[in-house]
Amino acid sequence: MNDTLKGTIYAISGPTVIASGMKGARMHSTCTVGADGLLAEVIRIDGEYVTLQVFEDTTGLRLGEKVVSSNHGLTVKLGPGLLSNVFDGIQRPLLKAKEVSGDFIKKGFYIEAVDMKKNWEFKAIKNAGDEVFEGDVLGTIDETKALTHKIMVPPNVSGRIQKIENGNVTGEDTVCTLESGEEIGLYQEWPVRKGRPYRKKHPSATPFVTGQRVFDTVMPITEGGAAVVPGGFGTGKTVIDHTIAKFSLCDIVIFVGCGERGNEMTEVLSEFPKLKDPVHDLPLSERTVLIVNTSNMPVAAREASIFTGITIAEYFRDMGYSIALLTDSISRWAEALREISSRLEEIPGEEGYPPYLSTRLGEFYERAGKVECLGDHDRTGSVTIISSVSPPGGDFSEPVTQTSLRFSGAFWALDKDLAHRRHFPAVNWNKSFTLYYDQLREWYEKEVSPEMEPLRTRLLTLLEKEAELAEVAQVIGLESLQDSDRITLEFSSLIREGFLRQNVFDPNDSFSSFEKQLWILKVIFGIFDVTNEALARGVYLEKILDTPMKTKVLMLSNVPNKGFKEKAEALLSEMIKTFNSM
């Protein structure tokens, strides 16, 4: 660290420290605090006094201890070795830290985010004499079997190549030297609170595929979109995040465990290496970066963790990859922000959150998107953000949920009653919505089927009708409803159980292809139409309901994606014959 400014500790309040003698300090620059060299960040300047948020435990700090400032803000190191790694909120590698310091990280502990001495095989694609600009790809490294790591010219750097070589290199070596004398290595650093540059942001017309029917068909989001998943305790937010991390058709997953319980993160660490990436059929961990800041870790590092995650996501986006950033949960991040704000004695806003809660969340969500990357290659990359929110008591009107809703295009509201009935994903279709479907309509028509939109519309209409009939049935009783209404209720139940519900533990149902989603709907509504025709011909309702149609349709979810269409067509044909013969 460049020792540019020195001061002393004047006051201490938990993770907040005030230092004196710091005239000339820069906002958001990093400092080391005390004899242990605790990492901190400047968050307020008042003359020669600066307020710091310390990213580590401040127990034992004393007044008068030294504070040393640097010229730069909190940065992350970007390059080979990020994949399959586990970091804390300020990018300390936890697995390596355990080897060095034991089960608990010592105060002032510093370790490189990646192994700078590890050898990588660099394959140059540029030559000496080539003119290069920011974002240009100089060469590649086969980091994993699933991903080619592109070594790019850092932002704000350009020039003519004087020297570039193939071969084994480490993080300490220079891979390219420009005629200006600028040296470029495998790694670059970037401040976490500043978005990485790109050429142009595009409106996306491609869905972010999760393999979950309620998301892909009913409430889809685009690549580069943002979705909020609010739900009370026990509604399955973490399970949804894990499921999307396991089965979504993206190139890389960045999972930020922000204030999570340790046992939940243990599950991720133990499970992911055993699972297969659905795109490349390789261990899931090979396409995953985990950022862990559990509930017993310092709150300041928790506040920084989501910005660390989005910066790493943007780096891979700049290579032209599709990135999923999963944060669990934004509420615990906001609680950390509230705690820091209260120690600064700032005037609180709604429910004690600082007035700038909306600004900070906006800075985070606005970094999602599908962009045309910098550089001479035609690269388009995307960062899709899916954020869990934990509203106290399941109250969706609280500030964090409502603020997140302002910056997202999809709202996947989880329902406690559905969760208790073991309905997964426990998404309340009457409270949830998406603003992305109009952008995706053409894609569904071309890539799936022209029938997809009419079927989705019928599904939503049927569920709305069910809600109306359920209220009527509570007053007059189910038996008093008309036969056509009872058929509607029967098939809305079939939609809920056979389409909206999935079993993530069944390999045949954990990921549902678009063909499978289409044909489940075609079967359900095909049988729905033929039963209404039978009812119009005078067939008794009891005779219709006595058929094994519901059992057979529900069994479709156990059929693999491959060959699903043929089995679905056969079942639909069988059911049509059965009801036409009545």
Of 303, 304, 325, 305, the closest CA to residue 314 belongs to: 325
Statement: residue 2 has pLDDT above 50: no
pLDDT class of 198 with cuts at 50, 70, 90: very high
Integer Cα distance of 199 and 244 in angstroms: 29
> Would 424 be classed as within a structural domain?
yes
> Would 444 be classed as within a structural domain?
no
Statement: residue 214 has pLDDT above 60: yes
pLDDT tens profile 51-87: 999 998 898 999 999 999 987 889 999 999 999 899 9
Is 363 found in the same domain as 289?
yes
pLDDT tens profile 531-545: 999 999 998 989 998
Statement: residue 98 has pLDDT above 60: yes
> Would 291 be classed as within a structural domain?
yes
Sorted by sequence, the CB contacts under 8 Å of residue 422 that are 6+ apart come out as: none
Integer Cα distance of 427 and 244 in angstroms: 14
Task: Choose the final residue of a domain: 186, 217, 244.
Answer: 186
Is 469 found in the same domain as 570?
yes
Q: How far is CA 526 from CA 92, 447, 501, 519, 566, in A?
A: 56, 22, 20, 10, 15
Is 468 found in the same domain as 412?
no
The whole-chain average pLDDT of the chain stands at 91
Is 225 found in the same domain as 253?
yes
Q: Say how far residue 84 (Cα) sits from the centre of its chain.
A: 16
Give the CATH number, domain containing residue 495.
1.10.1140.10
Statement: residue 1 has pLDDT above 60: no
Is 501 found in the same domain as 472?
yes
Is 53 found in the same domain as 171?
no
Is 407 found in the same domain as 301?
yes
Task: Choose the final residue of a domain: 416, 437, 458.
Answer: 437
Of 53, 57, 98, the closest CA to residue 74 belongs to: 53
The mean pLDDT of 501-527, rounded to a whole number, is: 93
Q: What is the pLDDT of residue 266?
A: 76
Angle at 225 between CA 221 and CA 252, to 5 degrees: 95
Is 167 found in the same domain as 207?
no
Relative to beta strand 159-164, strand 131-132 is antiparallel
Is 469 found in the same domain as 365?
no
Statement: residue 265 has pLDDT above 80: no
Integer Cα distance of 390 and 332 in angstroms: 8
What are the two backbone dihedrals, phi and then psi, of residue 167, each rounded to the nearest 5 degrees?
A: 125, -175
Give the CATH number, domain containing residue 170.
2.40.50.100
> pTM of the entire structure?
0.93
Is 166 found in the same domain as 46?
no
Instruction: Give the burial class of 378: count Cβ atoms within 10 A of its Cβ; 0-12 exposed, 13-18 middle, 19 or more buried.
Output: exposed
For 301-322, letters b (16+ CB in 10 Å) and e give bbbbbbbbbbbbbbbbbbbbbb
Q: What is the pLDDT of residue 272?
A: 75
Angle, nearest 10°, between helix axes 330-343 and 357-365? 140
Is 480 found in the same domain as 334?
no
pLDDT tens profile 226-245: 999 999 888 888 889 889 98
Q: How many domains does the chain have?
A: 4
Q: What is the pLDDT of residue 122?
A: 95
The residue range of the domain holding 470 is: 449-580
Is 396 found in the same domain as 296?
yes
Integer Cα distance of 540 and 534 in angstroms: 8
**3-class DSSP state for residue 319?**
coil
> Would 101 be classed as within a structural domain?
no
The mean pLDDT of 121-141, rounded to a whole number, is: 95
Q: What is the pLDDT of residue 256?
A: 94
Give the CATH number, domain containing residue 36.
2.40.30.20
Task: Choose the final residue of a domain: 404, 437, 470.
Answer: 437
